[in-house]
């Protein structure tokens, strides 16, 4: 498809502070014109009347499971799920098999045979095999296209090695996406507190996260490394990040939609679709997440999309795999919980899914002006519906949100001028 | 008054359901010492025990409770079963279900395992202890023993001492006793008694002497070395000095205090030998009552079982 004309949509581009009804013309994979009543002839015309038109969403934190766990998800299915959710760029974490700790695996992930339908920006491991013993091939991964480093799923326990990773990665301008968890403290399977006491499950306390957030903020200060805290979930972590930002340190952080929509009180009957790491925290922590999103201490929403095969979930709670899917529910949950509830303007919410993650990655995406890549989401924010797990494009059906009523439906996803989702259906 | 398919915990039971079980157990207890009263009422019921953790009292008393009522009782030797080949809990349960099992009795090291099993089989499932969650039949036999000796629950002060953090017995008792109107205190070192236990409607204490004061019932719990990590207390001698119950400390309780313990006992650790064997101790009575309560539960569940 060479040209697309989007007619009469409400363009919201948080980066450039734009919120207006207009037409957008796309050709040669770029936005070529924005204006009123564009009369150019296009191969495809999309009537966006009463719809919002935004930069394609960017997710800094997902799991595509390939290579190694293709029964859970593949790059082909995961990127389609992402497109269904309005995402045009995603950062898959390196906890694959083999671990993405060298250039060959990065190249494998980026190979066009993987059939990705949107931009895949791989994250490399910090240490070889994510074993926490020696540095991964950081420089060579950067050359091959890795955009960040992460040990996601665990923390680098040794502070000396972590410090070297920060000093070394700075050379390649790679931010570190930091999974913060002291494993010696975090031995339970849900949040520590009254609900864990009620259910008889061993708890994971907030300090297991906060200890590593504090440690790595201190290390970021001494090394000058760009540190991005992954899936922040506790009041204490938010406080540490807030103080670090006040000091002007290069710290950013993300929260997953489930951490501002659910809390440990929602766990009943040992349903492992409510099991993830970090766990659903207390109601108070959940409220703090919303406040911190509103005051922009948390500048990114990232899904931590973690698809699993049913066999990994349909078992004893303590044995069940951590994680839930998120790509296909993130926009609606964010819109419903943050914008409809009047916590923040739509544009601020969208910034956390577009220009803010783009800035952290240092990529020229996440905005929608003349000359931008034609990565675009078109959504109907008046559409109220119930989340239908059976219709999801992801291989993983592990979500606690099935049947939940939400507002805001993604109708079109355009990536590099290609229409990937049309009228809420995949085109490929 | 008892229409459930499964018995998974006391958290979910009503006061009335608990009393139905205790009243039924009263009749059953007579059958233990009087074989002529037994009536083979469960001759059409098959029972399988699946113990993923070791047990003496619970497993044996369940098996005898079934056989005293004429049931077919089989034990799946978990260690020698296909579980050791990696067969999942759910698949194991579905296979036993297909063989016509009416009641499955499961003990498992993971919290919630009986609940998962119950969702996937037609058989009734009895929780014989899951992780650090619940051990409902132990609590029910404790309740039975307390009622037998005190005649009531309302207003009784019951103190549960020791390794609360890892104790499914303490939790099931806390759920049951508070429903029946008793006042429950959980006491032990701060590393073994979490403050969040207070949300169960109990008092939490780290002062054994104060906790025991005017108690009607003192229940000791075994220190579960197999579940402990990172040293919750320095050593056994310090534990028994500071938190163990001997006859001297027991004087703070009421004169007619009942001394209980679910077994197995670490003699001289949580309770001193003179307390274990003393005149206030009903530890051996608890064991007999365990058979009676389990007979009652098997009877009640077999009446509700979909297959039966």
Is there a contact between A104 and A140 (Cβ–Cβ < 8 Å)?
A: no
Mean pLDDT, chain B, whole residue set: 94
- Answer whether A316 sits within 8 Å of B110, measured CB to CB: yes
Residue B225's pLDDT band (boundaries 50, 70, 90)? confident
**Chain A touched by B29 (CB under 8 Å):** no
DSSP string, A382-420: EEEEE--GGG-SSS----TTTT-EEEEEEEEEEETTEEE
Strand A376-386 relative to strand A52-55, pairing: antiparallel
B133 contacts in chain A (CB < 8 Å): 199-201
**How long a stretch of residues is chain A?**
428
Which SS3 state, helix, strand or coil, does residue A12 take?
Answer: strand
C-alpha A93/C-alpha A121 separation (Å) is 9
**Chain A touched by B134 (CB under 8 Å):** yes
B231: left (phi over 0), alpha (psi -120 to 50) or beta: left
Q: Going by CATH, does the domain composed of A73-361 fall within 3.20.20.140?
A: yes
- Is the confidence at residue B226, as pLDDT, over 90? no
Q: Which pLDDT belongs to residue B308?
A: 43
Q: Report the run of H or E that residue A331 belongs to, with start and end.
A: helix A330-334
ipTM over 0.90: no
What mean pLDDT do residues A123-147 have? 98
Nearest Cα of chain B lies from the Cα of A236 at a distance, in angstroms, of 19
> Could you give the residue ranges of the DSSP H alpha helices within A51-153?
75-84, 103-110, 138-144
C-alpha B308/C-alpha B302 separation (Å) is 7
C-alpha A113/C-alpha A120 separation (Å) is 13
Beta bridge partners of A45: A5
- Answer whether B111 sits within 8 Å of A199, measured CB to CB: yes
C-alpha A247/C-alpha A245 separation (Å) is 5
Is there a contact between A186 and A208 (Cβ–Cβ < 8 Å)?
A: yes
DSSP assignment letter at B270: T
**Chain A touched by B89 (CB under 8 Å):** yes
- The mean-pLDDT minimum among A75-84, A230-239, B51-60, B174-183 falls in B51-60
- Show the CA angle centred on residue A133, arms to residues A128 and A137, nearest 5°: 30
- Rg of chain B over Cα atoms, rounded to whole angstroms, equals 19
Most confident of A163-167, B222-226, B237-241: A163-167
Domain limits, chain B = 15-134+290-307, 136-286
DSSP string, A264-301: GGG--TT-GGG--SSPP--HHHHHHHHHHHHTTSS-EE
| Catalytic residue of the set A304, A312, A373, A380 | A304
Instruction: Name the residue in chain A with its Cα closest to that of B170.
Output: A200
Q: Which pLDDT belongs to residue A1?
A: 57
**Chain B touched by A271 (CB under 8 Å):** no
Is there a contact between A122 and A149 (Cβ–Cβ < 8 Å)?
A: no
- Answer whether B111 sits within 8 Å of A318, measured CB to CB: yes
What CATH fold (topology level) applies to the domain B136-286?
Rossmann fold (3.40.50)
Nearest Cα of chain B lies from the Cα of A263 at a distance, in angstroms, of 17
How many C-beta atoms surround the C-beta of residue A37 within 10 A? Answer: 8
User: Which residues, 6 or more positions from B10, have their beta carbon under 8 angstroms from its beta carbon?
Assistant: B18, B134, B136, B139, B140, B172, B173, B175, B176, B179
B171 contacts in chain A (CB < 8 Å): 200
Mean pLDDT, chain A, whole residue set: 97
Is there a contact between A120 and A110 (Cβ–Cβ < 8 Å)?
A: yes
C-alpha A359/C-alpha A369 separation (Å) is 16
Q: Which pLDDT belongs to residue A73?
A: 98
**Chain A touched by B106 (CB under 8 Å):** no
- Is the confidence at residue B306, as pLDDT, over 60? no
C-alpha B180/C-alpha B165 separation (Å) is 23
- Answer whether B196 sits within 8 Å of A196, measured CB to CB: yes
A304 among known catalytic residues: yes
How many C-beta atoms surround the C-beta of residue B81 within 10 A? Answer: 13
Query: How far lies B284's CA from each of B33, B260, B264, B288, in Å?
Result: 15, 9, 11, 7
For residue range A245-302, list pLDDT tens digits in order.
Answer: 999 999 999 999 999 999 999 999 899 999 999 999 999 999 999 999 999 999 999 9
- Is the confidence at residue A119, as pLDDT, over 70? yes
For residue range A6-51, list pLDDT tens digits in order.
Answer: 999 999 999 999 999 999 999 999 999 999 999 999 999 999 999 9
Nearest Cα of chain A lies from the Cα of B135 at a distance, in angstroms, of 11
What mean pLDDT do residues B112-117 have? 96
- Is the confidence at residue A191, as pLDDT, over 50? yes
A317 contacts in chain B (CB < 8 Å): 110-112, 116
**Chain B touched by A296 (CB under 8 Å):** no
C-alpha A140/C-alpha A92 separation (Å) is 18
Residue B44's pLDDT band (boundaries 50, 70, 90)? very high
DSSP string, A149-195: EE-TTS----HHHHHHHHHHHHTTTPPEEE----TTT--SSEESSHH
For residue range A301-350, list pLDDT tens digits in order.
Answer: 999 999 999 999 999 999 999 999 999 999 999 999 999 999 999 999 99
- Is the confidence at residue A241, as pLDDT, over 80? yes
- Rg of chain A over Cα atoms, rounded to whole angstroms, equals 20
Q: Which pLDDT belongs to residue B236?
A: 87
**Chain A touched by B278 (CB under 8 Å):** no
- Answer whether A200 sits within 8 Å of B196, measured CB to CB: no
- Answer whether A270 sits within 8 Å of B115, measured CB to CB: yes
Domain limits, chain A = 3-53+372-426, 73-361
A315 contacts in chain B (CB < 8 Å): 88-90, 116
**Chain A touched by B82 (CB under 8 Å):** no
Which H, E and C letters describe B31-91, residue by residue?
A: HHHCHHHCCCCCCCCEEEEEECCCCCHHHHHHHHHHHCCCCEEEEECHHHCHHHHCCCHHH
For A3-53+372-426, give the CATH class.
mainly beta
For B15-134+290-307, give the CATH class.
alpha beta
- Answer whether A318 sits within 8 Å of B168, measured CB to CB: no
User: Which residues in chain B (142-201) have CB-CB distances under 8 A to chain A?
Assistant: 168, 171, 194, 196-197, 199-200
What mean pLDDT do residues A73-90 have? 98
C-alpha B301/C-alpha B19 separation (Å) is 15
User: Which residues, 6 or more positions from A54, have their beta carbon under 8 angstroms from its beta carbon?
Assistant: A11, A12, A13, A86, A350, A354, A368, A376, A377, A378, A379
**Chain B touched by A269 (CB under 8 Å):** yes
DSSP assignment letter at B257: P
Q: Which residue has the higher pLDDT, A240 or B193?
A: A240
User: Which residues in chain A (164-193) have CB-CB distances under 8 A to chain B?
Assistant: 184, 187, 189, 192-193
Which SS3 state, helix, strand or coil, does residue A244 take?
Answer: helix
- Answer whether A317 sits within 8 Å of B111, measured CB to CB: yes
**Chain A touched by B11 (CB under 8 Å):** yes
Query: How far lies A56's CA from each of A169, A296, A346, A410, in Å?
Result: 28, 21, 15, 11
- Show the CA angle centred on residue A370, arms to residues A368 and A375, nearest 5°: 40
Q: Which pLDDT belongs to residue B304?
A: 82
Which SS3 state, helix, strand or coil, does residue A245 take?
Answer: helix
């Amino acid at each position: 498809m060479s040209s697309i004309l989007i007619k009469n949509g409400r363009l919201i581009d948080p980066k450039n502070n734009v919120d207006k009804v207009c037409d957008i013309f796309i050709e040669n994979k770029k936005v070529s014109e924005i204006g009123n009543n564009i009369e150019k002839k296009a191969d495809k015309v999309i009537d966006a009347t009463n719809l919002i038109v935004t930069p394609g969403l960017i997710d800094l934190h997902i799991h595509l499971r390939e290579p190694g766990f293709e029964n859970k998800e593949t790059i082909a299915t995961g990127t389609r799920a992402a497109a269904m959710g309005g995402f045009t760029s995603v950062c898959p974490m390196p906890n694959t098999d083999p671990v993405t700790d060298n250039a060959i695996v990065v190249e494998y992930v980026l190979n066009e045979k993987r059939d990705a339908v949107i931009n895949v920006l791989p994250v490399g491991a910090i240490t070889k095999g994510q074993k926490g013993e020696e540095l991964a091939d950081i420089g060579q991964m950067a050359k091959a296209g890795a955009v960040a480093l992460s040990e996601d799923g665990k923390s680098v326990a040794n502070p000396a090695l972590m410090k070297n990773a920060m000093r070394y990665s700075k050379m390649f301008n790679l931010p570190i996406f930091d999974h913060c968890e002291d494993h010696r403290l975090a031995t339970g399977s849900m949040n520590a507190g009254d609900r864990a006491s009620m259910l008889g499950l061993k708890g994971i306390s907030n300090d297991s996260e906060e200890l590593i957030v504090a440690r790595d903020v201190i290390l970021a200060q001494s090394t000058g490394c760009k540190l991005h805290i992954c899936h922040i979930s506790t009041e204490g972590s938010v406080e540490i990040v807030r103080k670090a930002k006040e000091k002007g340190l290069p710290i950013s952080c993300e929260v997953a939609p489930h951490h501002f929509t659910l809390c440990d009180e929602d766990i009943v009957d040992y349903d492992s679709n409510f099991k993830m790491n970090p766990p659903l925290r207390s109601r108070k922590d959940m409220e703090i997440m919303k406040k911190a999103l509103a005051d922009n201490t948390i500048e990114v929403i990232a899904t931590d999309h973690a698809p699993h095969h049913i066999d990994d979930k349909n078992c004893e709670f303590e044995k069940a795999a951590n994680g839930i899917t998120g790509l296909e529910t993130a926009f609606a949950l964010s819109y419903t919980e943050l914008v409809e509830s009047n916590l923040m303007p739509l544009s601020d919410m969208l910034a956390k899914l577009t220009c803010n993650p783009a800035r952290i990655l240092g990529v020229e995406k996440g905005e929608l002006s003349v000359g931008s890549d034609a990565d675009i989401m078109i959504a109907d924010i008046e559409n109220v519906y119930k989340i239908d797990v059976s219709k999801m494009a992801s291989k993983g059906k592990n979500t606690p949100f099935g049947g939940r009523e939400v507002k805001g439906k993604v109708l079109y996803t355009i990536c590099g001028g290609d229409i990937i989702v049309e009228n809420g259906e995949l085109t490929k | 008054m008892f229409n459930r398919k499964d018995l998974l915990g006391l958290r979910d039971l009503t006061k009335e359901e608990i009393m139905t079980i205790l009243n039924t157990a009263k009749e059953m207890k007579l059958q233990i010492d009087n074989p002529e009263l037994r009536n083979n009422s469960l001759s059409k019921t098959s029972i399988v025990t699946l113990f993923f953790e070791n047990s003496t009292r619970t497993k044996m008393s369940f098996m005898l409770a079934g056989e005293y009522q004429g049931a077919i009782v089989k034990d799946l030797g978990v260690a020698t079963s296909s579980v050791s080949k990696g067969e999942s809990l759910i698949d194991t349960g579905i296979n036993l279900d297909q063989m016509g099992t009416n009641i499955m009795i499961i003990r498992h090291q993971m919290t919630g395992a009986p609940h998962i099993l119950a969702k996937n089989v037609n058989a009734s499932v009895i929780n014989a202890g899951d992780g650090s969650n619940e051990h409902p039949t132990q609590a029910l036999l404790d309740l039975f023993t307390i009622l037998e000796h005190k005649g009531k629950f309302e207003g009784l002060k019951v103190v549960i001492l020791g390794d609360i953090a890892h104790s499914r017995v303490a939790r099931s008792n806390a759920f049951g006793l508070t429903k029946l109107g008793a006042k429950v205190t959980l006491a032990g070192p701060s590393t073994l008694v979490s403050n969040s236990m207070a949300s169960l409607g109990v008092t939490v204490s780290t002062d054994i002497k104060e906790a025991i004061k005017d108690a009607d019932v003192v229940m000791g719990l075994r220190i579960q070395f197999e579940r402990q990590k990172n040293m919750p207390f320095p050593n056994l001698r310090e534990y028994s000095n500071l938190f163990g119950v001997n006859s001297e400390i027991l004087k703070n309780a009421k004169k007619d205090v009942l001394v209980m313990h679910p077994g197995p006992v670490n003699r001289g650790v949580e309770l001193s030998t003179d307390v274990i064997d003393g005149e206030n101790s009903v530890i051996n009575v608890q064991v007999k009552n365990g058979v009676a309560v389990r007979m009652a539960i098997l009877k009640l569940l077999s009446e509700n079982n979909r297959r039966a």
